[in-house]
Amino acid sequence: MTSKPYTLKPEYKNLLLCFIEDDDKLDVIESTVGLASRRGNRVVLSWFAISSVSLFATYASLFSITSSFLKYSLAITGICVYTVGSIWFNCMAYEWAVDSSFRAVLGAMQKVDAALQSAYASPPRAALASELLKCAKRIRFFGSRPGFRLHMQIIKQEARRASKVLRDLIYPAMLGNDKELEELRSVLGKAAVEIGTSNWVKVCDLAMETGQYQADQIHRRIFSSGRLTAILILALTAIPAIPILVSFFKIM
């Protein structure tokens, strides 16, 4: 049984019409984004299975197991599996980076029309800025692999540069005139095409002039909400096993 081919939504196709020369490139985008989407679904399902098994093992050791040795073994195994699974899930984000980044950029493009002819820093512009932040975060997924080797370090560096290009667009989104918003739309459209054809590194060449807005630099947060959520879930998983671990070390 073959899976149904991925097709872009009509509204997405309409957004890209001005930036695609021929239908062949559109086919490439659909193929590339569809493959990334399927890979992402597989990773998410695997992560769900890993987390379910680890949580079951941890809580079973608390409420269902009477053997002390088995209780300690299950608790330690559950925590270790969940920790390794969390690290693996974050390192595999590059598998669906094309899909998530592509959708985020097109989502930002859809917010441009509402921002046109609106007051500076108005709610429509704030909504556009929020979407641009999401774009910057998603494109960093391309560099999510551990950078122990030189080529991985280069990928991480280019992912940071590409995300900075999109993050800098927040300034004209909040404070720019309509001409600058139209230029911003063009940058996003070209970025969507480059991402959709796996040429995401070229996003670095689409930088828009924003120097007049950057007298005060906005510092990037060390911990994103996604990372904090993962840490919180890990902590909640480990807390019930703390008494077991304390008892185990006392016995030793």
Q: What angle do CA 178, 183, 187 make, to 5 degrees?
A: 145
Provide the whole-model pTM: 0.79
Residue 139 and residue 97 in contact, taking contact as beta carbons nearer than 8 Å: yes
The 8-class DSSP code of residue 6 comes to: P
**Residues 53-105 pLDDT 10s:** 888 887 777 776 666 777 778 878 888 888 889 899 999 999 999 999 999 99
Q: What angle do CA 145, 81, 70 make, to 5 degrees?
A: 165
Q: What is the C-alpha separation between 76 and 41, in angstroms, rounded? A: 29
Query: How many CB atoms are located within 10 Å of the residue 26 CB?
Result: 19
The pLDDT of residue 70: 76
* 184 contacts: CB under 8 Å, gap ≥ 6: 112, 169, 172, 173, 176, 208
The pLDDT of residue 58: 77
Q: Going from the first residue of the chain to its last (252 residues), give the mean pLDDT of each consecutive group of 10, the final group possibly shorter.
A: 69 86 86 94 93 82 70 81 89 94 95 94 95 95 90 94 93 93 94 94 87 57 53 59 53 50
Q: What is the C-alpha separation between 94 and 36, in angstroms, rounded? A: 9
The pLDDT of residue 204: 92
Query: How many CB atoms are located within 10 Å of the residue 68 CB?
Result: 12
